[in-house]
Amino acid sequence: MIEKKEGIINGIIHDNTAYNNSNNRYYPTINGLKFLIEELLSVNETTLYIKFNPYYVNSKLNCQIEFDEYMFYMECRDDFTEAELEEHWTRCMDNIYDIPHEIEQYKNMSEDRKKQAQILYPVCKHGDYQAFHKYLNNYKEYLNELIPMLFEKAKDNLNLTQDDMAFGYFCFEVHSG
């Protein structure tokens, strides 16, 4: 059974991702995720964290590929320093590029990688719903860049042919706390 956690944000996420009396989880498509984000933007609340993990499913080939390294993960903290934020982004970007953070600190990242880190792994303060909204909007807009890039990765990794592509779609595993 999928637990409905306390809070308005967690309730919205639960209501949009659980069904069959909370016994099953629904993984929204791109449109479903955008609708969910719009619902989250309609309330002036924050939560401990939100995670959207994209994956591609192909029903013809009966396979899927998860893109954990491109998940959106937003934390809300009581307080944080700029140094803690940069360390957070460095650790998160290590997951994408598999580069030890001792080698590549945030300050040495390219501007494109810094932008990607800031969009995929934002941090806001508890109760700062304006920053919370800003980061959700940034991610929603970034989906227009992210999905084509992930689709190219899926085509390469799964060796998709033109005929195979019509049977595929993107979904998102959604969690909050």
- CA dist list (Å): 46 to 9, 97, 162: 7, 29, 42
Is the pTM of the predicted complex or chain greater than 0.85? yes
Average pLDDT over residues 54-83: 92
Higher pLDDT, 90 or 154: 154
Containing structural domain, residue 76: 8-176
- pLDDT of 98 reads 53
Specify if 59 maps to a domain: yes
Residue type, 10: N
**Whole-number Å distance between alpha carbons of 150 and 170:** 9
Specify if 3 maps to a domain: no
pLDDT at 67 over 60: yes
- pLDDT of 33 reads 97
Give 75-128 pLDDT, tens digit per residue: 999 988 888 888 888 777 765 555 554 445 666 777 887 788 889 999 999 999
Cβ proximity of 37 and 140 under 8 Å: yes
Look up residue 1 and give its DSSP letter.
Answer: -
Number of domains in the chain: 1
State the average pLDDT for the chain: 88
The candidate with the shortest Cα–Cα distance to 16, out of 6, 1, 34, is 34
- Out of 25-39, 71-85, 128-142, least confident range: 71-85
Specify if 141 maps to a domain: yes
Specify if 2 maps to a domain: no
Count of alpha carbons within 13 Å of 120, Cβ hemisphere only? 24
Average pLDDT over residues 166-175: 95
pLDDT at 58 over 50: yes
- pLDDT of 11 reads 92
Specify if 1 maps to a domain: no
Specify if 158 maps to a domain: yes
Cβ proximity of 91 and 81 under 8 Å: no
- pLDDT of 8 reads 93
Cβ proximity of 88 and 76 under 8 Å: no
**Whole-number Å distance between alpha carbons of 87 and 166:** 41
